[in-house]
A and B are shown apart, each in its own frame.
Chain A
Amino acid sequence: MPQSKPRGGAASSKDSKYDLGKISARVDRVHVSGLLRTHNDYVMRAADGLFKADNFQDVMLEAMSTKAYLHELGIFKDVSVHIDVSRGADASPQGYEVTFKGNEYSRMMGSAGTEVGQNEGSLRTELTVPNILGRGESISLQGSYSNTRANDLQLKFWKPFFHTRFRENRPEFSFSIFRQTDRFDISSFQSTNVGYLIDFSAHSSLGVDLTHSLQYENSIRNVGLLNKSVPFGIREHCGPKLASLVRYSVVFDNRDANVFATRGILLKSTNEYCGLGGNVAYTSSTAHGEVNVPLFSGFVAQFCGRVGIVKETKQTTLLPISSLFYCGGPMTLRGFKYGGAGPVVDGTPIGAQTYWCTGAHLWAPLPFAGVFKSLASNFRTHFFYNIGNTNTFSLENMRSAFGMGLAFKFADRARIEINYCIPVRRQATDKVLNGFQFGIGYEFI
């Protein structure tokens, strides 16, 4: 029997004389072959849906979703599906046998590539040992070297629990040890974090689909200076501190695409409480939202907004400088230099305790997009208007800028923008950028 194609099957059922939905079928037997290191119980739930199918169309659809599920388990490089009539003594008259032929990952995998962070590109190498213990447990060692000269190193162990009865919730547990450097060039300091992170993430679908992630992080944050003449207000923060924090983030996303969405809403909120032991204490909350409204002939209106607040707790002696928010730059307020729309000490910008910024976009496909269809789908033009401010929620003295530009979709996840920006309202201490601005990242305003 040839490999089944669910969409073809579903479509053909409507216009051909054979309606596959009316052909009754029963799955007698499901084979999953190619399990060398993997334990049998790890793929047991793969067959759940198949046995419930009672017509041939369902069998094919279920087979495809099972194939996707087997991929998600993180043990197979590729999976092929075979559907055959069942034979043998105990075969039922309408019986079928479904066989999944998997090809397990090799013991060790290496990869190298580029990665896009917020306004930085980095070179990343990764070494993964998949499926160590036979139930999807994996370890990876990841190193990246970015253009801002920050080196990150991460050793991560993770275990999915997709094979348990909470399969629908996609629970996953991970533990990682990391060393990470964040450079704040505009404020002449860098923060080197060394520590570990425990993460538990799951989906919930009570009414709305949400992705939750609960993390505990324990790390040493060492603030160092990047040059000699640094304002004393920044120098005060130097030295190592121990941070112990819980972080909870929740994401709602029903957009139709990650980068150039035409409809849908993204809501994201992250809350941190730091101060469970250690000598850093603060609470931090950020919220990010994006609404896309389709207009006509490919035009999309998009509204984005972001708010962030860092607050002292009872134990706080000094708010950590590396947890403050920087406003300005291609990710937040276009038309300003990175971090250039915020408070300053002795002429050097530092982060703000609160900030908000919003953006309104009108996205349009490239002209003559129909001619170069595949290429043009990676590009969009936009007109934007950004408004934002730091350390106050009033509309007085706010910053704003408008402009237009070209955006490019990069690897289905990141966006590269080149914009011509015109700052409209600014403060005397702000560093503006009137002209072309380049931005690369995955979460824009």
Chain B
Amino acid sequence: MPSVLLSQLATANKLSVEPWPEDATLYQPYEVEQILLPENASCLAVKAYLKMCNLPFDVRTCANAEHMSPGGRMTKLPFIRAGAFIFAEFEPIVNFVEQKEMAIGNLQDEDEKADMRTYVSLVENIFTMAELYISFKNERVYKEVTAPRNGSVYPWPMNHMQNYGKRRNALRLLKVYQWNDLDIENVIEKVAKCCETLEYKLKESPDTPFFYGEQPCELDAIAFGHLFSILTTTLPNMALAQTVQKFKHLVEFCRFIDDKYFQTSFVPC
């Protein structure tokens, strides 16, 4: 397999040499009428991360963003087009930015980095699964929000077929992560536990607004993406939002990040 490794090396070299492209574009579904909760969370996380890194990017919304994506582990969204490269989902995009050595959170040592990565993956797994669960497994949310939104970009009768396919994929993913036979109490419990861990981590450095020291890092971005989406999305079943709201520090953290990175930017994107 030397050729594969060599080509990977060549790609890595190329990645680190070229600067951040001016025309980097983030693709996502329509925010107002189409995007679903798990997708919105991951898109927001990536946007927060890129803003924290101070990297310029355009946001392009299109109906078939999910189908254009090169694929990924969970939602396949968002994906970013930077020069000739296309990366989908939070982790590959973060890795891409790191290879350009423009990443944030460079101050930490290796141990802390591994520690932080663990939190990132915990947050991503727990929240994405919980969001998928509430969107597709809760009958009322599915009927009143998920299905009409997902089908909004397709003409009848294709919307029903697309909804069916999307739900089947989501349920399959839930099954892989063994979330399919949980009931809503278990889900809330898992989310509460995750929030608790995060709040504990946040309290470790009480005098700074971020999880690790003075600087934001990946964990700040992904935690913000998921928590903020859950808090601000109105669903017929607000169990997730109510759970998150119990953690005042996390709510405060979301408000802070939103103010710092999203409200103040007058640059249209």
Q: A232 — which chain B residues lie within 8 A by C-beta?
A: 81, 86
The answer to the question of A277 belonging to the interface, with a C-beta cut-off of 8 Å to chain B, is yes
Question: Complex: how many Å from CA A279 to CA B155?
Answer: 7
Q: A220-B161, A239-B64, A239-B67 are in contact. List 18 more A-B contacts (CB 8 A).
A: A223-B67, A224-B67, A235-B68, A235-B86, A236-B62, A236-B68, A238-B68, A239-B63, A239-B66, A239-B68, A240-B154, A240-B162, A242-B155, A242-B158, A277-B155, A278-B155, A279-B154, A279-B155
The answer to the question of A373 belonging to the interface, with a C-beta cut-off of 8 Å to chain B, is no
The chain B residue with its CB closest to the CB of A236 is B68
Q: A277 — which chain B residues lie within 8 A by C-beta?
A: 155
The chain A residue with its CB closest to the CB of B85 is A229
Question: Complex: how many Å from CA A235 to CA B86?
Answer: 11
A222 to chain B, nearest CB (A): 8
Chain A residues with a Cβ closer than 8 Å to the other chain, count = 14
Question: Complex: how many Å from CA A103 to CA B29?
Answer: 62
B82 to chain A, nearest CB (A): 11
A218 to chain B, nearest CB (A): 10
The chain A residue with its CB closest to the CB of B159 is A242
The chain A residue with its CB closest to the CB of B69 is A238
The answer to the question of B21 belonging to the interface, with a C-beta cut-off of 8 Å to chain A, is no
Docked complex: B168-208 residues within 8 A CB-CB of A: none
Chain B residues touching A, range: 10 to 19
A-B contact count (CB 8 A): 30
**Proximity string of chain B (85-118) to chain A, C-beta cutoff 8 Å, 1 when within and 0 when not:** 0100000000000000000000000000000000
Question: Complex: how many Å from CA A239 to CA B62?
Answer: 11
**Proximity string of chain B (47-72) to chain A, C-beta cutoff 8 Å, 1 when within and 0 when not:** 00000000000000011101110100
**Proximity string of chain A (97-130) to chain B, C-beta cutoff 8 Å, 1 when within and 0 when not:** 0000000000000000000000000000000000
6 contacting pairs across A/B (C-beta < 8 A): A235-B68, A236-B62, A239-B63, A242-B158, A277-B155, A278-B155
Q: A239 — which chain B residues lie within 8 A by C-beta?
A: 63-64, 66-68
The answer to the question of A17 belonging to the interface, with a C-beta cut-off of 8 Å to chain B, is no
Also in contact, A220 and B64, with CB within 8 A (given A228-B70, A232-B81) = no
Q: Which of B62, B64, B66 has the most CB of A within 10 A?
A: B64
CB of B154 within 8 A of CB of A242, answer yes
Docked complex: B146-168 residues within 8 A CB-CB of A: 154-155, 158, 161-162
Question: Complex: how many Å from CA A279 to CA B152?
Answer: 12
A275 to chain B, nearest CB (A): 11
Q: B67 — which chain A residues lie within 8 A by C-beta?
A: 223-224, 238-240
Question: Complex: how many Å from CA A242 to CA B151?
Answer: 13
The chain B residue with its CB closest to the CB of A231 is B84
Q: B63 — which chain A residues lie within 8 A by C-beta?
A: 239
Question: Complex: how many Å from CA A268 to CA B125?
Answer: 58
**Proximity string of chain A (257-293) to chain B, C-beta cutoff 8 Å, 1 when within and 0 when not:** 0000000000000000000011100000000000000
Question: Complex: how many Å from CA A224 to CA B67?
Answer: 8
CB of A220 within 8 A of CB of B158, answer yes
The chain A residue with its CB closest to the CB of B62 is A236
CB of A238 within 8 A of CB of B161, answer no
Q: Which 5 A-B pairs have the closest CB atoms?
A: A239-B67, A239-B64, A238-B67, A242-B158, A238-B68
Q: B158 — which chain A residues lie within 8 A by C-beta?
A: 220, 240, 242
A228 to chain B, nearest CB (A): 6
Question: Complex: how many Å from CA A3 to CA B68?
Answer: 67
Question: Complex: how many Å from CA A18 to CA B30?
Answer: 87
B83 to chain A, nearest CB (A): 11
B144 to chain A, nearest CB (A): 24
The chain A residue with its CB closest to the CB of B162 is A240
Q: A223 — which chain B residues lie within 8 A by C-beta?
A: 67
B92 to chain A, nearest CB (A): 13
The chain A residue with its CB closest to the CB of B81 is A232
Q: A238 — which chain B residues lie within 8 A by C-beta?
A: 64, 67-68
A346 to chain B, nearest CB (A): 8
Question: Complex: how many Å from CA A13 to CA B79?
Answer: 82
Question: Complex: how many Å from CA A274 to CA B64?
Answer: 20
B154 to chain A, nearest CB (A): 7
The chain A residue with its CB closest to the CB of B70 is A228
Q: A278 — which chain B residues lie within 8 A by C-beta?
A: 155
Q: B68 — which chain A residues lie within 8 A by C-beta?
A: 235-236, 238-239
Question: Complex: how many Å from CA A236 to CA B64?
Answer: 8
Q: B70 — which chain A residues lie within 8 A by C-beta?
A: 228
Q: A220 — which chain B residues lie within 8 A by C-beta?
A: 158, 161
Q: B154 — which chain A residues lie within 8 A by C-beta?
A: 240, 242, 279
A239 to chain B, nearest CB (A): 3
Q: B162 — which chain A residues lie within 8 A by C-beta?
A: 240
Q: A242 — which chain B residues lie within 8 A by C-beta?
A: 154-155, 158
Question: Complex: how many Å from CA A220 to CA B162?
Answer: 11
The chain B residue with its CB closest to the CB of A232 is B81
B93 to chain A, nearest CB (A): 16
Question: Complex: how many Å from CA A242 to CA B81?
Answer: 27
The chain A residue with its CB closest to the CB of B65 is A239
A4 to chain B, nearest CB (A): 57
Question: Complex: how many Å from CA A56 to CA B154?
Answer: 67
Q: B161 — which chain A residues lie within 8 A by C-beta?
A: 220
B39 to chain A, nearest CB (A): 15
Q: Which of A224, A239, A240 has the most CB of B within 10 A?
A: A239
Question: Complex: how many Å from CA A22 to CA B68?
Answer: 78
B123 to chain A, nearest CB (A): 28
